[in-house]
Chain A
């Protein structure tokens, strides 16, 4: 059985499997990636991320009722008056309620932006007025105070540095196991995916809370996983397939792993769709970030990592197991 089928000077079938000419579209794909990246960066620069209650802290309001209210009702009354995203819990007894409001919501609804005690107090008064009107019993304001963020500032400070360090170590590992051109490809794909997910959140002004942060971290894992699987096959084929251009080898490799790429993305997306459609408010943004991440990650494992390899002129020699030195060197002109 012949290994390859060639049409118009290009390999169209390899080992009985159709080979798609992915790399033919590599330039338009690069253009799309760059446009998406620029748009994401622009969105991040202009809108910034809308950090949630976890990151920003906010206003904490303690109220007392004459008669125990239903928590669901309180939530609905608040949402009805425009206080979206408020956290409402029973506090100590069933007539006491603790409400936490993100600053953006508090500001938008009460037109009070100054972060001093007086402003905080009047935010509390307004919220109590809403609840008092909605319920039959008397609602009294027990206490209102500013609360700081749930996660430390050190997370933000160290986070960036940590990510850089992680990238460097991943690059080193990939360079060691594969070749440095692969490590640049892998990190480029990773950065591509994360920036686009962040850009998506900035563009649509969606709440960026701890669950979304976790989703972004999961996207990192997913993107790396996907890229390495494709890279692994490219390496294998560079060593195995004779008489083929690097472009063709990359095409063969991507075609061979395509089934797996789609299957994994599909099962992951199945879970995410379920969370997105049936999961309710809390995991909505979590699943949304991941859906964007998985789609972009699947695309980038085909077009970003491989594209970088092409751009850096990857050759067979780059991936051949190291041969005895000396004898090789002498033959070189």
Chain B
């Protein structure tokens, strides 16, 4: 009685082994390091630079070891994290600012065979180890301009419809629509039309003679609202990008009117971080222009895909934008009947409305999906007082990713086809899911920041966690003796599995996070307590030891499952509906429930079976 078949032991061993393997990198603390690279990629950093850096550190009295010359950069490991900043300063001074970039880095010490398995340690949070701080500025002009662009098309159409013949209608300074008329009569007609059709625009009369103007602009309040919307939308998008699972523990917050601060833990390699957050991409849907459309109403775009570009070049699309990527609420990769990849898209209700209106009378025409990438190039100019100012000049790259025939009126859900590969579909879906930026933004500043907790605070925090853990272990041992020992081993396994899964998910470890993990441990003993008190109960009822063990595990099983599934339901819903840290909590909670059920039910049972199973037992040490 109470024996497990061999395969169960092997399964448990395998899971525990994998857990050990993937939790192991956390034992290797990364070394604080300084990284030296050339200002441009053509620059070679070699032994001579390393020698100079070494000399600078020697002079500054900073301890270092293991200088490595890599492909593009030199890595110098330091003894203490406190000396990172002084070391950076000393080396930068010695090498000069013009040729070399000295950055802080954390050098991994995980053995190569572990990293080859895809195992990596958890990052330490902003509170424990600091990270990088990026300041980004949202280019709010763009959103005002695109908004005015939309008005421009509408104003032209309405004026034409009202027969208010204009000489020209243009957008000036991105913020003002100027309509020019030949005489008073036409202008008055234009004025009354615009008043009626566009009550949200502020209209001013200007000009004289045969050059009469109506100047239309948005109210200050309205512009503010637009800019506000753009910043908030970008904030949300960035949050989703840097924290898809909610366990990355970044800080993303608004600073002032149109800036966004992003603080990422651990990533001290700023180039890597910039790649993640800086992808300023957007999407637009437009109908393909009719062949007879005026040039002023259509635009020519190239295909993004190399093959298609060589085959067909590009296509003319209408200037009018149906919707943009910010209306997408979900995007998933799917496959059509013949196995070609597609992206299934869900829009918000307003987006669905716009899409329906645009497509129901255009069945049979083609609709194009435009991919927009923005790049900012800093440009130095001189202002009126002769001072040098750096202006970020933006260039937009708009390319067609798909052009497909509208088969039927589209609503909130539709699909993008014409994608080349599953990988391309995957990337597009991810980009759409994370949300598009409402307005492009550029990096203003990047700094490395120190930990927000003092060394003392970290020390007491870690000590308290150790004391708590130890207290639980001792308590279980005193209370349940042999069974308590089994439960403690299971707890340790639970801890290792939890850490392993969190590492695989790329979670970040903060001090409250550590406290949370230990708390999970305190609560995870519940399953074992349930089982053990049930066994005691059965013993009291006069059951022989072996049957009591078996009955205890069996009877407690449904209770444990019920209790845990109920909690798991809450966790899943919290994940689905919450965002950021709430999602992260839900992830940790779910993993904790699953690993604790595994270790407390299967793990403890295996140990008890090994100890007591298949032999005569007079008395249980419980």
Contacts and interface: CB of A to CB of B under 8 A. Distances in A.
Contacts of B472: 267, 270-271
15 contacts: A16-B540, A57-B253, A92-B447, A93-B88, A147-B254, A159-B582, A162-B578, A213-B581, A214-B581, A224-B566, A260-B529, A266-B475, A267-B525, A272-B519, A275-B468
Given A224-B567, A264-B525, A267-B475, A150 B252 contact: yes
Interface string A67-100: 0100110010000000000011111111010100
Please report whether the interface of chain A is mostly helix, strand, loop or mixed according to DSSP. Answer: helix
B254 A57 contact: yes
Interface string A29-68: 0000000000000000000000000000100100000001
A218 interface: yes
A196 interface: no
A270 B566 contact: no
Given A15-B540, A89-B452, A272-B522, A229 B252 contact: no
Contacts of B589: 217-218, 221
Given A98-B133, A220-B570, A225-B526, A278 B460 contact: yes
Interface in B457-493: 457, 460-461, 463-465, 467-469, 471-472, 475-476, 479
Contacts of B15: none
Interface string A229-245: 10011000000000000
B573 A271 contact: no
Nearest to A222: B523
B85 interface: yes
Given A225-B563, A270-B468, A283-B512, A152 B569 contact: no
B511 A264 contact: no
Contacts of B564: 225
B521 interface: yes
A155 interface: yes
Contacts of B468: 270-275
Given A150-B253, A161-B577, A273-B468, 5 more contacts: A89-B449, A148-B235, A267-B525, A272-B522, A275-B464
Given A1-B542, A15-B540, A279 B460 contact: yes
Closest 10 CB pairs of A and B: A148-B254, A162-B577, A90-B450, A92-B447, A274-B468, A278-B464, A279-B464, A271-B468, A271-B522, A280-B460
B80 interface: no
A71 B540 contact: no
A264 B471 contact: no
Contact of A89 (B130, B461, B521, B562): B130
B454 A72 contact: yes
B450 A221 contact: no
A279 B580 CA distance: 25
B132 to A, nearest CB: 10
Given A145-B255, A225-B566, A279 B533 contact: no
B256 interface: yes
B133 A282 contact: no
Contacts of B573: 162, 165-166, 169
Interface centre among A145, A221, A280 (most CB of B within 10 A): A221
Contacts of A325: none
B85 A93 contact: yes
Contacts of A225: 523, 526, 563-564, 566-567
A96 B447 CA distance: 10
B563 to A, nearest CB: 4
Contacts of B469: 271
Contacts of B582: 155, 159, 213, 217
Nearest to A228: B563
B69 interface: no
B109 interface: no
Interface of B: 85-86, 88-89, 127, 130, 133, 232, 235-236, 239, 251-256, 259, 261, 447-457, 460-461, 463-465, 467-469, 471-472, 475-476, 479, 511-512, 515-516, 518-519, 521-523, 525-526, 529-530, 533, 536-537, 540-542, 558-559, 562-567, 569-571, 573-574, 576-582, 585-586, 589
A229 B527 CA distance: 10
B458 to A, nearest CB: 8
Contacts of A214: 512, 516, 581, 585
A21 to B, nearest CB: 20
A288 to B, nearest CB: 12
B86 A94 contact: yes
Contacts of B451: 89
A268 to B, nearest CB: 4
A267 B476 contact: yes
Contacts of B574: 162, 166, 217
Interface in A134-169: 145-155, 158-159, 161-162, 165-166, 169
Interface centre among B251, B463, B563 (most CB of A within 10 A): B563
A146 B255 contact: yes
Given A147-B253, A214-B581, A17 B447 contact: no
A27 to B, nearest CB: 28
A15 B457 contact: no
B127 A282 contact: yes
A283 B515 contact: yes
A328 to B, nearest CB: 26
Nearest to A256: B537
Contacts of B253: 57, 147-150
A283 B567 contact: no
A159 B575 CA distance: 11
Nearest to B446: A92
A88 B456 CA distance: 14
Contacts of A217: 574, 582, 585-586, 589
Nearest to B232: A153
A228 B357 CA distance: 51
A222 B455 CA distance: 32
Contacts of B467: 274, 278
A287 interface: yes
A170 interface: yes
Given A146-B255, A147-B253, A279-B461, A89 B261 contact: no
Nearest to B512: A211
